[in-house]
């Protein structure tokens, strides 16, 4: 049987198994969007694949069912018994066809017209005709289904390691082998277990080798390869992990003793253990090319059916990675290559018009980078139109319009990973329903990897996936807070920032949340101590921020101590703990302690720093903070003039705004037209009272603060100049009284910071009840603009 067909059958069989149940559940609980999405994806995948395989009957039924499900997703149709019945009927037909395919490798004869007609009746009810299959690349889809935003569970995926340890043994049974002997081709599939067969592309080869061995004892290929149960490998892995821990303990003991007789043997043990660890890790490794074998065919078929000229070039197929991870990335890779071929690469005509070679290229490459494998899927196609994505994101309510407009294109492109997001205008046979990128993202997230997408409109798109080499042993940073230690998986860490006492000023407080000003961005801070409800301890003078990346969101995890980076063996947490989102597992350190591995994704959720709303909130907060910063000069210290104006609290003004401090004799104050003026440096300067209740004549001489803005000056009369202090002008409260910007704590006392703008307007007669003091050379210009940056708040 054709590999492609066999894979399709296995995969579909697995998915259909749970589909019945899903649909029944959906009927019981129509609001279950996640389930609806999952059902839709399954049908979508089946439909997509049978397109390549030329299974017309299957495709027809799946397409009809998919359309109905799509309407359900979009909320144009409601879940109801009859409808569910029809979908189940469609699934039964699909199952039947699949069963016959498995037996005969051809689709059975049959007429699905009545079923399809019934399904289409539902579509007619929603007032929208079924979209015709069409291969228009990168067109926007009309009536894009609006889905509520489903938060994707961002797990670092470490629990997968736990799942693997209980995976069934996948050594073929003797009866299956006997079947294989009897009818090697047809029954090969039956003997296959999904996971087994997916994990090894050389499967057929091995199997035949075994068959040879069984039949005549002739040594075959199996001599150099041996099928071993995954659980055996997992157990080996665990044991070696333990051995490594024991070794670490021994090393600690011997290095603390000088001239220990154990030093030499322990050194030997150390070397052997390291080699053993590597060798065992290798048993789980497979070249990534194993996950690529289907792709050339897929691209060829696609280019034929769409009339495009596409070449797939592959590089680094020999790059090794853990089999478990290999499995996890297989589907995402297929999705993305399919996307590139279907949406990315243009038709030969369009390419020629754009001045590009007629033949489009999809470049697939893999290489090791540190403890990770980096996979890139790059095409030289049309690229993604960022403004279209922006529009869609706004339409779908994923982002506020003003925020979206301000976002750089690179950031906007990330919305492609949202569930149900598609910019395709027409639904094609292959893709374009917005299923795909969200699946890609959640699959990659689940194994602790990251996806980045970059695209240049007209030039092509590159998707870069970074995944860990293995899930069983990860590199982690050990941190400490409140006397406890924790491990943070290295893959989620972007950088470390040490905050000393002097740098505390970089921490902003907005709406009760803390942000750290990291270069140009505001990083939301999550205090591990607070989040995990640990006992508070003495205030630390300095602390560390572990900058974590979760999907699109970044946040800073605040801890007191950062220790070292270690390779740790991930162990699952028990059932009584696993509901705690903060943890991805636990591990045993070299000295035998058990410490928890933090799940940065879970922490982001717990601290609510990763959701879309929060992201918007952060954008807004960032904006506000920037303004507040400009206004209050944040926590930076500056010289502040303190004076008494007859109010209970002292008044303050930044010294930088003050031109001079003067005292005018009462005799020099001239009263004209209800205003006070003084001859000052050859001009008439208005003098206003800092407090309206103040009688300017009551004091001789009168202290006056002179503000100057180029050729305009203003005197503000006060009772007494008190002091000039160095402090931060951090406005804590707004003030009700006009003329006061707000209240700040200066030199340990609540002090009113005056609004110089107010006095300028008063002097200019812009405030009611005051006559204009038109001394300005340029009356049209707003006097406050450059004189009073404080007024910007």
Partner 1 sequence: MSPALLDGAVAASTEQMEYVTFRLADQWLGIPVMVVQEVLIAMRIARVPMAPEAIAGFLNLRGQIVTAIDLRTTLRLPSREADAEVMNVVVRHESELFAFMVDEVGDVVSVPNDAVQPTPATLDLRWRTACTGIVRRDGGLLLVMSVHEVLRLDYASG
Interface residue list for partner 1 (CB under 8 A) = 166, 241-242, 245-246, 484, 532-534, 571-577, 579-580, 582-583, 586, 588, 592-596
Please identify, using beta-carbon distances, which residue of 530 and 668 lies nearer to partner 1.
530
Tokens of 200: 């090894």
Tokens of 376: 């890139």
Cα separation, 353 vs 377, whole angstroms: 24
**β-bridge mates for residue 669, sequence order:** 678
Q: Which of 723, 678, 682 is nearest to 701 (CA)?
A: 678
Q: Is the peptide bond before 701 cis (omega within 30 degrees of 0)?
A: yes
Which residues have CB under 8 Å from 156's CB, separation 6+?
A: 448, 489, 491, 492, 584, 599, 600, 601
Please identify, using beta-carbon distances, which residue of 218 and 575 lies nearer to partner 1.
575
Please identify, using beta-carbon distances, which residue of 406 and 577 lies nearer to partner 1.
577
Please identify, using beta-carbon distances, which residue of 537 and 541 lies nearer to partner 1.
537
Least separation in angstroms between residue 242's CB and partner 1 is 4
Tokens of 636: 């930076």
Q: Which residue has the tokens 């559940």?
A: 25
DSSP annotation string for 81-116: HHHHHHHHHHHHHHHHHHHHHHHHSSPPP---HHHH
Q: Which residue has the tokens 């807070």?
A: 481
Tokens of 630: 């400009």
Least separation in angstroms between residue 271's CB and partner 1 is 21
Tokens of 246: 């024991």
Query: Is 706 within 8 Å of 759 (Cβ atoms)?
Result: no
Strand-pair category, 360-369 with 561-569: unpaired
User: Could you tell me the end-to-end alpha-carbon distance of the chain, in angstroms, rounded to an integer?
Assistant: 73
Please identify, using beta-carbon distances, which residue of 190 and 232 lies nearer to partner 1.
232
Q: Which of 565, 583, 564, 561 is nearest to 480 (CA)?
A: 561
Please identify, using beta-carbon distances, which residue of 246 and 789 lies nearer to partner 1.
246
Q: Which residue has the tokens 């104050």?
A: 669
Q: Which of 362, 563, 336 is nearest to 441 (CA)?
A: 336
Least separation in angstroms between residue 587's CB and partner 1 is 9
Strand-pair category, 658-664 with 513-518: unpaired
Tokens of 114: 């009545």
Cα separation, 243 vs 398, whole angstroms: 49
Tokens of 787: 């004189």
Least separation in angstroms between residue 575's CB and partner 1 is 6
Please identify, using beta-carbon distances, which residue of 168 and 738 lies nearer to partner 1.
168
Cα separation, 176 vs 189, whole angstroms: 10
CA 596-602-607 angle, to 5 degrees, is: 110
DSSP state, residue 571: B
Please identify, using beta-carbon distances, which residue of 195 and 243 lies nearer to partner 1.
243
Counts for the chain of helices (H) and strands (E), in that order: 24, 30
Task: Give the relative orientation of helices 295-306 and 323-339 as an angle to the nearest 10 degrees.
Answer: 10
Please identify, using beta-carbon distances, which residue of 245 and 399 lies nearer to partner 1.
245
Please identify, using beta-carbon distances, which residue of 48 and 159 lies nearer to partner 1.
159
Q: Which residue has the tokens 């601290």?
A: 607
Please identify, using beta-carbon distances, which residue of 270 and 484 lies nearer to partner 1.
484
Strand-pair category, 650-654 with 310-315: unpaired
Tokens of 518: 């990291």
Please identify, using beta-carbon distances, which residue of 345 and 596 lies nearer to partner 1.
596
Q: Which residue has the tokens 């918007």?
A: 616
Please identify, using beta-carbon distances, which residue of 440 and 548 lies nearer to partner 1.
548
Please identify, using beta-carbon distances, which residue of 519 and 579 lies nearer to partner 1.
579
Please identify, using beta-carbon distances, which residue of 593 and 681 lies nearer to partner 1.
593
Cα separation, 79 vs 85, whole angstroms: 10
3-state secondary structure 155-191: CCCCHHHHHHHCCCCCCCCHHHHHHHHHCHHHHHHHH
DSSP state, residue 347: P
* Dihedral Cα 407, 413, 418, 419, nearest 10 deg: 140
Strand-pair category, 553-559 with 561-569: unpaired
Q: Which of 3, 8, 127 is nearest to 59 (CA)?
A: 8
Please identify, using beta-carbon distances, which residue of 373 and 476 lies nearer to partner 1.
476
Residue 492 phi/psi, 5-degree rounding, is -85, 0
Helix (H, G, I), strand (E, B) or coil at 499: strand
Please identify, using beta-carbon distances, which residue of 272 and 577 lies nearer to partner 1.
577
Tokens of 257: 């003793």
Cα separation, 116 vs 86, whole angstroms: 9
Please identify, using beta-carbon distances, which residue of 491 and 586 lies nearer to partner 1.
586
Cα separation, 565 vs 326, whole angstroms: 26
């Amino acid at each position: 049987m054709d590999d492609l067909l066999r894979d399709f059958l296995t995969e579909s069989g697995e998915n259909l198994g749970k589909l019945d149940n899903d649909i029944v559940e959906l009927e019981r609980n129509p609001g279950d969007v996640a389930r609806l999405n999952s059902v839709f994806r399954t049908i979508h995948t089946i439909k997509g694949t049978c397109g390549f395989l030329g299974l017309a009957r299957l495709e027809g039924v799946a397409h009809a069912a998919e359309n109905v499900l799509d309407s359900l997703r979009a909320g144009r149709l409601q879940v109801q018994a009859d409808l569910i019945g029809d979908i189940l009927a469609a699934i039964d037909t699909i199952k039947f066809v699949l069963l016959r395919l498995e037996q005969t490798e051809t689709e059975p004869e049959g007429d699905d017209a009545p079923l399809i007609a019934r399904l289409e009746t539902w579509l007619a009810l929603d007032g929208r005709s079924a979209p015709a299959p069409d291969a228009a690349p990168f067109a926007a889809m009309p009536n894009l289904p609006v889905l509520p935003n489903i938060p994707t569970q961002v797990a670092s995926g470490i629990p997968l390691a736990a799942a693997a340890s209980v995976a069934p043994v996948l050594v073929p049974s003797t009866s299956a082998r006997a079947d294989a002997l009897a009818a090697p081709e047809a029954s090969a599939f039956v003997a296959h277990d999904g996971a087994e067969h997916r994990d090894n592309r050389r499967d057929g080869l091995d199997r035949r080798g075994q068959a040879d061995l069984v039949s005549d004892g002739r040594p075959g290929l199996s001599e150099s390869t041996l099928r071993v149960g995954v659980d055996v490998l997992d157990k080996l892995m665990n044991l070696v992990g333990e051995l490594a821990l024991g070794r670490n303990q021994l090393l600690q003991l011997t290095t603390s003793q000088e001239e220990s007789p154990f030093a030499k043997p322990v050194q030997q043990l150390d070397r052997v253990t390291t080699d053993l660890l590597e060798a065992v890790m290798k048993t789980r490794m497979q070249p990534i090319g194993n996950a690529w074998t289907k792709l050339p065919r897929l691209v060829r078929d696609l280019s034929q059916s769409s009339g495009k000229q596409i070449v797939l070039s592959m590089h680094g197929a020999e790059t090794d990675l853990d089999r478990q991870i290999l499995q996890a990335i297989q589907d995402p890779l297929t999705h993305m290559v399919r996307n590139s071929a279907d949406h990315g690469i243009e038709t030969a005509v369009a390419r020629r018009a754009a001045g590009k070679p007629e033949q489009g290229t999809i470049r697939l490459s893999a290489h090791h980078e540190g403890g990770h494998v980096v996979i890139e899927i790059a095409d030289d196609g049309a690229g993604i139109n960022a403004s279209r994505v922006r529009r869609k994101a706004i339409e779908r309510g994923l982002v506020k319009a003003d925020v979206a407009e301000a976002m750089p294109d690179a950031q906007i492109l990330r919305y492609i990973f949202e569930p149900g997001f598609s910019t395709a205008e027409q639904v094609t046979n292959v893709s374009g329903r917005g299923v795909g990128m969200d699946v890609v993202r959640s699959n990659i997230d689940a194994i602790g990897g990251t996806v980045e997408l970059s695209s240049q409109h007209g030039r092509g798109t590159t998707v870069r996936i970074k995944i860990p080499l293995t899930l069983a042993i990860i590199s982690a940073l050990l941190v400490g807070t409140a006397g406890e230690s924790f491990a943070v998986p290295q893959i989620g860490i972007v950088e470390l920032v040490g905050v000393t006492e002097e740098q505390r000023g970089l921490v902003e407080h907005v709406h009760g949340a803390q942000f750290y000003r990291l270069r140009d961005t505001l990083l939301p801070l999550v205090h591990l101590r607070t989040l995990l409800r640990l006992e508070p301890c003495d205030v630390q003078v300095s602390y560390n921020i572990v900058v974590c990346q979760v999907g699109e969101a970044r946040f800073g995890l605040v801890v007191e101590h950062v220790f070292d980076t270690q390779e740790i063996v991930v162990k699952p947490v028990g059932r009584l703990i696993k509901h705690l989102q903060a943890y991805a597992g636990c591990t045993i350190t070299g000295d035998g302690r058990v410490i928890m591995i933090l799940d940065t994704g879970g922490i982001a959720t717990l601290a609510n720093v990763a959701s879309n709303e929060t992201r918007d909130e952060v954008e807004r907060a960032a904006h506000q903070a920037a303004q507040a910063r400009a206004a209050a000069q944040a926590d930076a210290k500056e010289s502040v003039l303190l004076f008494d104006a007859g109010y209970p609290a002292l008044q303050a003004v930044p010294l930088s705004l003050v031109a001079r401090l003067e005292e005018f004799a009462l005799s020099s104050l001239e009263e004209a037209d209800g205003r006070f003026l003084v001859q000052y440096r050859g001009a008439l300067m208005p003098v206003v009272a800092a407090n309206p209740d103040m009688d300017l004549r009551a004091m001789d001489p009168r202290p006056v603060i002179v503000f100057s803005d180029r050729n305009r000056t203003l005197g503000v009369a006060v009772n007494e100049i008190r002091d000039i202090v160095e402090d931060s002008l951090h406005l804590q409260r707004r003030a009700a009284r006009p003329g006061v910007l707000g209240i700040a704590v200066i030199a340990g006392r609540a002090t009113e910071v005056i609004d110089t703008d107010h006095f300028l307007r008063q002097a200019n007669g812009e405030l009611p009840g005051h006559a204009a003091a038109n001394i300005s050379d340029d009356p049209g210009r707003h006097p406050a603009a450059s004189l009073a940056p404080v007024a910007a708040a």
